[in-house]
């Protein structure tokens, strides 16, 4: 199935990019350190250690038809999320896919963590700032394969206007969404 292959590719690409963007440069090696201390230091700086290594951590494959979707932020407008990796509410890396039905966007909000977003399907309309603009002529539409980074604390809004949209989102939790006007996170876009 083309969609399933694309989603797997996109998830891998997003994961690789997110890790590459957030992995700090290695510190210069000390001139002469005893072998035991060097091994201890390397183990302490291994960010993958808590996640496990092969063969302790198995390969994981999920078919799109078996994803466990749930309402995003408890909304009743049809926005749903599947968590592919990690737990967004806890410290550590997470990877999700958000599905926006046509005519639904998030309202202006921000997150405490930087997020890495890759459009998988549909045109994802995005805007920045405190004022919610739903005129697609004034928004930036991102197509499948296009990328957006949300900086930590950056006020923004995004979603679907004419069609269903799926977006892969990765980051390092815990994460949350703070709505600027303290209202609901998602709203209905007026017909254009």
**Residue pLDDT, tens place only, 34-73:** 555 555 555 556 666 666 666 777 888 988 888 999 999 9
pLDDT at position 79 over 50: yes
Q: Which two tokens stand for residue 192?
A: 């254009």
CB contact burial 55-64 (16+ within 10 A = b; e otherwise)? eeeeeeeeeb
> Between these two residues, 5 and 114, which has the higher pLDDT value?
114
DSSP category for residue 132: -
Whichever domain contains 170, its CATH number is 2.60.120.10
Q: Given a cut of 70, is residue 180 above it in pLDDT?
A: yes
| Statement: residue 88 has pLDDT above 80 | yes
Poorest-pLDDT segment among 52-61, 105-114, 122-131: 52-61
Query: Quick one: pLDDT band at residue 25, thresholds 50, 70, 90?
Result: very low
Mean per-residue pLDDT for 137-142? Answer: 96
Average pLDDT over residues 105-109: 97
What is the residue whose two structure tokens read 């749903």? 80
Q: Which residue has the higher pLDDT, 38 or 100?
A: 100
- Residue 23's pLDDT is 47
Is residue 159 within 8 A of residue 165, CB to CB? The reply is yes
Average pLDDT, the chain: 83
Taking residues 93-99, report their average pLDDT: 97
Structure tokens at 170: 């990765």
Q: What is the mean pLDDT of residues 172-188?
A: 96
Q: Which helix (H) or strand (E) holds 20?
A: helix 2-22
C-beta of residue 49 within 8 angstroms of C-beta of residue 43: yes
For residue 1, pLDDT over 50 is answered with no
pTM given for the model: 0.73
Using the structure block, give the residue that is written with the tokens 């979707």. 69
C-alpha span between 167 and 176 (Å, rounded): 17
Per the structure, how many domains does the chain have? 1
* Beta strands, E only, 22-75: 70-71
Instruction: Please list, in sequence order, all residues whose beta carbon lies within 8 angstroms of the beta carbon of residue 119, skipping any fewer than 6 positions away.
Output: 142, 143, 144, 145, 146, 147, 148, 165, 166, 167
Residue 13 phi, psi dihedral angles, 5° rounding: -65, -45
What's the pLDDT at 21? 47
Domain boundaries, position 90: 1-192
Range from 14-23, 98-107, 115-124 carrying the lowest mean pLDDT: 14-23
């Amino acid at each position: 199935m083309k969609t399933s292959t694309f989603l797997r590719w996109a998830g891998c690409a997003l994961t690789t990019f997110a890790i590459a963007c957030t992995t700090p440069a290695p510190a210069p090696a000390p001139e002469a350190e005893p072998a035991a201390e060097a091994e201890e230091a390397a183990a302490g700086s291994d960010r993958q250690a808590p996640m496990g290594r092969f063969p302790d951590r198995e390969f994981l494959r999920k078919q799109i038809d078996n994803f466990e979707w749930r309402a995003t932020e408890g909304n009743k407008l049809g926005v749903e999320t599947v968590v592919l990796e990690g737990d967004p509410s806890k410290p550590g890396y997470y990877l999700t896919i958000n599905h926006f039905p046509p005519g639904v966007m998030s309202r202006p909000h921000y997150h405490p963590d930087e997020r890495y977003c890759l459009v998988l399907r549909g045109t994802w309309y995005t805007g920045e700032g405190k004022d919610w603009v739903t005129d697609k002529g004034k928004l930036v539409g991102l197509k499948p394969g296009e990328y957006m980074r949300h900086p930590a604390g950056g006020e923004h809004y995004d979603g679907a206007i004419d069609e269903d949209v799926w977006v892969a989102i990765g980051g390092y939790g815990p994460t949350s969404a703070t709505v600027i006007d303290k209202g609901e996170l998602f709203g209905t876009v007026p017909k254009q």
